[in-house]
């Protein structure tokens, strides 16, 4: 399964971007035209691996937004054993490659616990990243529960290729060790979630195809026409209208067109590259002689295409998530040529995202409509599925994959696992759709609810009732949300048996039908832990959660510590603080990192550069503030301190920093702004070295080990300077689904 990819992306479903591996599965097996996600990352993945609805297993939202309610606490629980656990108990070798995002965000570090890491959920081998996204050039990567750095010393390294190499190697070794042992491999690359980071070769190859020169409106027409031709939308399907809130391509300036085309080229290159690498893993299965008897399920996207890149795209997702928009002129000047490289953490302009969900309305995050939830999917199994190239239109959902696997393997859903009684699996098997004579069989799935951030829908036997989203995900939270989340929403009604794309709203004409479905939603929501409904987004991202840093104001370290996740690090945001390093400088002078968090896309570092002390504050790659001593430190013991006085209250305010050596001031500077909400998610806190990216490329390269000794490094944090009013300001920003 790929990430953040709507129905109109893959060539297999009428898209213009070549996806030959998905084409291959579709030609060898079946294509499904009514398959659904939850509209967001962690929730879809929790549903996929457990066969239960996302709220049923604690994943109403992404793990970074978990709250205490059972439907939202990010705890899957031992009563919901995953498909990994079930298959492992039945003799399968189980493995997981790629994105995880189903571990509570407060359990990412070596402190564990590990019961909700892949190895604790029945997956015997894990090679991937724990969060919602990661830099593909310098990923925050784990093998099982150990952090690894495979790119060091490998110029041109990209995780997308490395992951395929690792999966292939794993399959070969497994085959060598036990050729007859059945295996289950869960393969979930970071593509095509932001950052869009394909290799330069793929950018060149896809750019040369000029797929996007005519813009997003023409692209939509093209995809719609391809879809009709391929039969992946029924005849008579209407193309839903372009929303008034998004600009039409022909209203743009030449500069805008140039920049936005580049963004789409790089995104498309990432799609094609990701598919290519998936294809190599499939080829490895064939090379081992196992293709005919392997069930391969290829799902394009865990939700619709993402609108988290702002209206004009961004070279730095970490900035756009905190409300910063980069002017088009600046993007062209500084980032056009390096778009997609390690110098960027990019995302594309919102209108592309809408177009890539053709023929539907809406996109990622919006669970009420198919633009958020309809995914292209193909299933192949040559020994069993004989209707090669067939189409299937039955209505299905992520939760139906586990029961399908259980039925075809002849494994019964366990009543108990490790002594714990199991909750029933909530999906239905799709095995009945495999045979040609059942191509048009009525769907065995009759009802499915959808809910995310208050947007919701209920499907029942060909009808769907859906709330109208009160705000587009691109509005970055500036729109007012209904205060009455239960009764404050407008509803739409569609007969999707005849109206595949949700074009013709029947709500006004058929109030009784709408009422019937609204009542059914309440019944289903009650059944699956959806209540209490909650349409807050940022509030849920910043509410307190279990944390190893809670209540601590003093943090001490010594020696070298690398790769501490930011949730376990001292947070210097929105407060005064002092960092004190007691160091021993070697003969010949000291050099290297004392302490850092973040890197190229935001963060800070206290280091010695050619013997001189430096404190560097990188404001989201927009501006770098620097304090530097003029004298080199003599060999021997010294104390280097950085003292910051925050000028709050409020988010992202400035303050005055003083750099001292042995209690003597060596630099003093006032700065106007700081990072308001979060440090980059996939960079870490490091003492005595720097992992991944440097806070200033002009100063040093990673790992920048400190050549002296750190006897003691201390952080002293003052209280956060936020008022109740400041917390209300948070309502204006959307950090929806850092997923």
Interface with Ca ion by CB under 5 A: which residues?
A: 3-4, 41, 302-303, 599, 683, 690, 692
- Nearer to Ca ion by Cβ, of 64 and 492: the residue is 64
CB of 24 to Ca ion, least distance (A): 23
- Nearer to Ca ion by Cβ, of 377 and 428: the residue is 377
CB of 458 to Ca ion, least distance (A): 23
- Nearer to Ca ion by Cβ, of 4 and 534: the residue is 4
What are the strands, taking DSSP E only, across 293-370? 296-300
- Nearer to Ca ion by Cβ, of 494 and 642: the residue is 642
CB of 249 to Ca ion, least distance (A): 26
Token readout for 141 is 């990567």
What are the strands, taking DSSP E only, across 81-219? 93-99, 125-129, 141-143, 146-148, 183-188
CB of 524 to Ca ion, least distance (A): 23
Round to whole Å and give the CA distance between 332 and 164. Answer: 33
- Nearer to Ca ion by Cβ, of 175 and 306: the residue is 306
Token readout for 644 is 């910051």
Q: In angstroms, what is the C-alpha Rg of the chain?
A: 26
CB of 343 to Ca ion, least distance (A): 14
Backbone angles phi, psi at 27, to 5 degrees: -70, -30
Host H or E run for residue 665? strand 664-673
CB of 562 to Ca ion, least distance (A): 10
Round to whole Å and give the CA distance between 47 and 29. Answer: 24
SS3 255: helix
- Nearer to Ca ion by Cβ, of 45 and 205: the residue is 45
CB of 603 to Ca ion, least distance (A): 6
Long-range Cβ contacts of 539-543 (<8 Å, 24+ apart)? 539/727, 539/730, 539/731, 540/61, 540/65, 540/66, 540/67, 540/72, 541/64, 541/65, 541/735, 541/738, 542/677, 542/727, 542/730, 543/67
Helices 254-287, 200-207: axis angle to 10 degrees equals 120
CB of 37 to Ca ion, least distance (A): 8
CB of 365 to Ca ion, least distance (A): 10
- Nearer to Ca ion by Cβ, of 307 and 585: the residue is 307
- Nearer to Ca ion by Cβ, of 29 and 189: the residue is 189
Helices 254-287, 159-177: axis angle to 10 degrees equals 10
Token readout for 211 is 């797929």
Round to whole Å and give the CA distance between 584 and 365. Answer: 51
- Nearer to Ca ion by Cβ, of 23 and 690: the residue is 690
Residue with the CB atom nearest Ca ion in the bound state = 599
Is the bond leading into 598 cis (omega within 30 degrees of zero)?
no
- Nearer to Ca ion by Cβ, of 434 and 685: the residue is 685
CB of 315 to Ca ion, least distance (A): 18
- DSSP assignment letter at 332: H
CB of 166 to Ca ion, least distance (A): 22
Is the bond leading into 507 cis (omega within 30 degrees of zero)?
no
CB of 105 to Ca ion, least distance (A): 16
In order, the DSSP letters of 406-441 are HHHHTPPPPSEETTEEPPPP-S---GGGSSGGGTTP
**Do the beta carbons of residue 596 and residue 608 sit within 8 Å?**
no
Round to whole Å and give the CA distance between 257 and 83. Answer: 46
Token readout for 287 is 């090379």
Could you tell me which of 502, 460, 461, 203 has the C-alpha nearest to residue 357? 502
**Do the beta carbons of residue 450 and residue 486 sit within 8 Å?**
no
Is the bond leading into 192 cis (omega within 30 degrees of zero)?
yes
- Nearer to Ca ion by Cβ, of 534 and 683: the residue is 683
- Nearer to Ca ion by Cβ, of 340 and 680: the residue is 680
Backbone angles phi, psi at 191, to 5 degrees: -70, 135
Could you tell me which of 84, 95, 93, 145 has the C-alpha nearest to residue 117? 145
- Nearer to Ca ion by Cβ, of 19 and 226: the residue is 19
**Do the beta carbons of residue 8 and residue 358 sit within 8 Å?**
yes
- Nearer to Ca ion by Cβ, of 460 and 692: the residue is 692
- Taking residue 409's Cβ as centre, other Cβ atoms within 10 Å add up to 15
CB of 638 to Ca ion, least distance (A): 24
CB of 371 to Ca ion, least distance (A): 14
**Do the beta carbons of residue 94 and residue 87 sit within 8 Å?**
yes
């Amino acid at each position: 399964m790929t990430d953040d990819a709507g129905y109109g992306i893959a060539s297999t479903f009428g898209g213009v971007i070549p996806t030959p591996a998905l084409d291959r599965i579709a030609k060898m097996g079946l294509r499904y035209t009514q398959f659904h996600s939850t509209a967001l990352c962690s929730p879809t993945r929790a549903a996929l691996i457990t066969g239960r609805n996302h709220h049923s297993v604690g994943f109403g939202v992404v793990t970074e937004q978990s709250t205490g309610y059972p439907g939202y606490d990010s705890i899957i629980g031992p009563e919901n054993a995953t498909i990994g656990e079930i298959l492992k108990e039945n003799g399968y070798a189980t493995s997981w490659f790629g994105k995880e995002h189903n571990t509570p965000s407060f359990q990412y570090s070596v402190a564990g616990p590990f019961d909700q890491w892949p190895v604790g959920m029945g997956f015997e081998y894990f090679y991937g990243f724990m969060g919602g996204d990661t830099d593909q050039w310098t990923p925050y990567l784990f093998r099982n529960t150990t952090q690894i750095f495979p790119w060091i010393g490998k110029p041109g390294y990209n995780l997308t290729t490395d992951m395929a190499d690792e999966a292939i190697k794993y399959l070969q070794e497994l085959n060598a060790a036990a050729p007859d042992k059945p295996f289950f491999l869960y393969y979930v690359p970071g593509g095509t979630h932001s950052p869009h980071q394909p290799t330069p070769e793929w950018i060149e190859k896809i750019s040369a195809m000029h797929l996007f020169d005519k813009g997003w409106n023409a692209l939509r027409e093209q995809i719609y026409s391809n879809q009709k031709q391929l039969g992946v939308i029924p005849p008579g399907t209407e193309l839903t209208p372009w929303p008034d809130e998004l600009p039409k391509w022909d209203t743009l300036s030449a500069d805008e067109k140039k920049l936005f085309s580049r963004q789409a080229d790089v995104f498309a290159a990432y799609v094609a590259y990701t598919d290519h690498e998936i294809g190599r893993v499939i080829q490895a299965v064939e090379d081992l002689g196992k293709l005919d008897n392997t069930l391969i399920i290829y799902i394009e996207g865990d939700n619709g295409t993402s609108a988290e890149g702002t209206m004009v795209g961004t070279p730095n997702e970490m900035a756009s998530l905190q409300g910063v928009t980069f002017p088009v002129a600046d993007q062209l000047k500084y980032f056009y040529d390096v778009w997609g490289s390690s110098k960027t953490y990019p995302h594309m302009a919102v209108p592309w995202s809408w177009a890539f969900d053709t023929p539907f309305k809406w996109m990622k995050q919006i669970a009420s409509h198919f633009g958020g939830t309809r995914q292209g999917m193909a299933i192949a199994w040559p020994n069993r599925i004989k209707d090669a190239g067939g189409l299937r239109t039955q209505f299905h959902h992520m939760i139906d994959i586990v029961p399908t696997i259980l039925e075809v393997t002849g494994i019964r859903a366990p009543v108990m696992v490790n002594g714990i009684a199991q909750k029933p699996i909530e999906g239905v098997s799709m095995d009945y759709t495999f045979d040609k004579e059942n191509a048009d069989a009525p769907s065995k799935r009759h009802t499915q609810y959808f809910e995310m951030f208050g947007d919701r829908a209920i499907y029942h036997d060909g009808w769907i009732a859906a709330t109208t989203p009160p705000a587009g995900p691109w509005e970055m939270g500036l729109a007012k949300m209904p205060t009455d989340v239960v009764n404050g929403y407008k509803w739409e009604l569609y007969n999707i048996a005849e109206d595949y794309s949700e074009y013709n709203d029947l709500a006004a004409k058929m109030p009784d039908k709408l009422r019937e479905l609204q009542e059914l939603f309440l019944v289903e929501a009650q059944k699956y832990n959806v209540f209490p409904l909650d349409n807050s987004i940022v509030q849920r991202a910043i509410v307190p959660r279990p944390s190893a840093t809670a209540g601590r104001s003093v943090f001490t370290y010594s020696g070298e510590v690398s790769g501490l996740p930011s949730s376990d690090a001292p947070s210097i945001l929105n407060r005064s603080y002092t960092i004190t390093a007691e160091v021993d400088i070697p003969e010949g002078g000291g050099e290297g990192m004392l302490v850092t968090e973040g890197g190229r896309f935001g963060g800070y570092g206290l280091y010695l550069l050619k013997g001189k002390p430096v404190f560097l504050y990188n404001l989201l790659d927009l501006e770098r503030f620097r304090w530097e001593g003029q004298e080199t430190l003599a060999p021997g013991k010294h104390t280097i301190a950085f003292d910051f006085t925050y000028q709050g209250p409020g988010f992202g305010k400035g303050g005055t920093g003083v750099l001292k050596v042995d209690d003597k001031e060596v630099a003093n500077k006032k700065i106007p702004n700081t990072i308001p909400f979060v440090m980059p998610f996939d960079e870490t806190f490091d003492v005595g070295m720097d992992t991944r990216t440097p806070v200033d490329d002009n100063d040093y390269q990673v790992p920048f080990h400190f050549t002296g000794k750190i006897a003691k490094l201390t952080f002293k944090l003052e209280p956060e300077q936020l008022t109740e009013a400041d917390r209300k300001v948070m309502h204006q920003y959307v950090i929806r689904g850092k997923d």
